[in-house]
Structure 1
Amino acid sequence: MKKIVGLASFTLFAGLLFQSCDNTERKLPILGEATVEKKMVDGKEVIDSIYPTIPDFKFLNQDSAYITQDFFKDKIYVANFFFTHCPSICPTMQRNLLKAYEKYKNNPKIAFLSHSIDFKYDQPHVLKDYANKLGIDNDQWQFVMGSKADIYGISEKYLVYTKEDASVPGGYDHSGYLVIIDPERRLRGAYDGTNDEQVTKLLEDLDVILNEYR
């Protein structure tokens, strides 16, 4: 499994930085390298930090319907990248993401988005069967597919490594991060979906960001 250089250590640092604060006081960091923008406000120069955001997208979901960024408007969502016949990290990652789905099931402020990186096999009916086997019975968790260019391109925006690679089991290589996206489409946390401690931290941080956008 590939790692995002520096991201895991950054997440750990952020956790240590805020560990003395309870969930009602602290806020999650914003991930990604910010650009500085100068603008005039009431005749004064103000410096603003502009962070990376997830761009517009359009993917086909497990119900053969197109899903865009509008589905997640005003929501916090957790995104990841997987494929249905993955023989390595995906089963563990998806079972752990299921814990978050079950905890926040029917909460209108929380959603989940799993992108298949197998653009050849994971058609909507395959994704539907996969979702059913996981026990997903509402539209809160979306499973989507798209072209290689679109899926692999947007994975970079989530800071997630994806690659078609015939030399690895299953034919695809990817990192197992679960990424929190806020209603402003900014990255607010990344967690190793195969690590129990990281998944526990994800659940805690979802409570934190829910409080921020309550």
Structure 2
Amino acid sequence: MSYSKKNYSLTLTDIITLIVLGLFPVWKIFNINADFPVFVFVLPIVIYIVEEIALNKKTLKQIISEGGKKFMGLLLILVIPGFIYLFISKADNNFMTLSFVGPKEHVIPDFSFVNQNNEIITNDDYRGNIYVANFFFTTCPTICPIMTYNMRIVQQRLSVYPNIKFLSHSIDPINDSPERLLDYANEMRANLMNWNFVTGEKESIYDIAKEYFVNAVEDSLAPGGFFHSEYFVLVDKEGKIRSGIDKEGNIVGVYDGTKDTDIKDLINDVKVLMAEYKRPKKDEK
């Protein structure tokens, strides 16, 4: 009895397919702080078509008819799961809702500050927008650069969405002039189209921090002479603080601006809040 041996060789399409199939679990295992790029599911099919046209001089019609099994196999293995993933990820947001932090009637009070362009910034500039707020100072030697970097990540990840803004309050108004805030924003490569770095009267800044349920005070014992919370606060279009819940069902309240996991949760919760506004509102009694 004799056995025939077949030589198997991996094509570029096969290699890309294996990479794509392996990429998704890696994305989830390492909890990468970004949406999975669904377009990669169609990449092997595109490469397969290019290979057949460039190397084998086939037309698209020939590729579909002669290589039907492989073409359909790639379609079933990659494209359909990609659309299922996309549908599920969007559907999750459409059926979720965020909790109110503090009393439901609590609203961020009126404020008036000066931004990096020496312009007056008030509630009116944020009314009708979802926004993320935090507190910092430009000479902060510890957590502020990390927080600002992560705020920039949030901004970039949500750049395709309308009606989202960002607001960073300096807790050192003596040193953080509008000119210094602009320099700092540029140093941190912040996109100032929808992000204001503001300063104002010291007491006004500290008082508004309390309304966000975070800390901001002078402290000679703290690094840089100030103490402030590392939190990002999510505010809805009505000026109310919102957040998701943790695995135990507790309201998160705020998001740690120094932790990648919290940043990912914040990005997702902003999307949930946006989806919430798209749903028909029930009449409240």
TM-score by length of 2: 0.61
- Give, in angstroms, the shift of residue 135 of structure 1: 1.7
- Give, in angstroms, the shift of residue 106 of structure 1: 6.0
- Give, in angstroms, the shift of residue 139 of structure 1: 2.6
Q: Structure 2: which amino acid aligns with 1:130? A: Y
Q: 1:23, 1:207 within 8 Å by CA — same for their partners in 2?
A: yes
- Given the alignment of the two structures, is residue 204 of structure 1 paired with residue 280 of structure 2, yes or no? no
Q: 1:64, 1:124 within 8 Å by CA — same for their partners in 2?
A: yes
Q: Structure 2: which amino acid aligns with 1:52? A: H
1:88 aligned to which of 118, 136, 142? 142
Distance 1:199 1:158 in 2: 18
Distance 1:70 1:108 in 2: 17
Q: 2:108, 2:240 within 8 Å by CA — same for their partners in 1?
A: yes
1:11 match? none
- Give, in angstroms, the shift of residue 127 of structure 1: 0.3
% identical equivalent positions: 44
Q: Structure 1: which amino acid aligns with 2:233? A: V
2:277 match? 213
Q: Structure 2: which amino acid aligns with 1:30? A: F
1:70 aligned to which of 124, 139, 155? 124
Q: Structure 1: which amino acid aligns with 2:114? A: L
Which of the pair is proportionally richer in strand?
A: 1
Q: How does 1:183-194 map to 2 (within 5 A)?
A: 183-189=237-243, 190-194=254-258
1:45 match? none
Distance 1:104 1:199 in 2: 12
Distance 2:148 2:125 in 1: 21
- Give, in angstroms, the shift of residue 138 of structure 1: 3.4
- Give, in angstroms, the shift of residue 213 of structure 1: 1.8
Moved over 6 A (4+): none
Please, what is the CA RMSD of the aligned residues?
1.3
Q: Deviations over 1:26-79 (max 9, x none)?
A: 1110001x2xxxxxxxxxxxxxxx421100110000000100000011100000
1:132 match? 186
Q: How does 1:44-193 map to 2 (within 5 A)?
A: 50-105=104-159, 107-189=161-243, 190-193=254-257
Structure 2 counterpart SS, 1:156: helix
Distance 1:122 1:131 in 2: 12
Q: 1:84, 1:130 within 8 Å by CA — same for their partners in 2?
A: yes
Q: How does 1:11-22 map to 2 (within 5 A)?
A: 22=92
Distance 2:221 2:192 in 1: 36
Q: 1:62, 1:124 within 8 Å by CA — same for their partners in 2?
A: yes
Runs of 5+ consecutive residues of structure 2 not aligned to the other structure: 1-90, 244-253, 279-285
Distance 1:206 1:67 in 2: 22
Q: 1:106, 1:140 within 8 Å by CA — same for their partners in 2?
A: no
Which of the pair is proportionally richer in helix?
A: 2
Q: Structure 2: which amino acid aligns with 1:133? A: E
CA pair 141-89 structure 1, distance change in 2 beyond 3 A: same
Q: Deviations over 1:101-152 (max 9, x none)?
A: 1112264310000000001100000000111112224330000001111000
Structure 2 counterpart SS, 1:24: helix
1:23 match? 93
Distance 2:145 2:117 in 1: 21
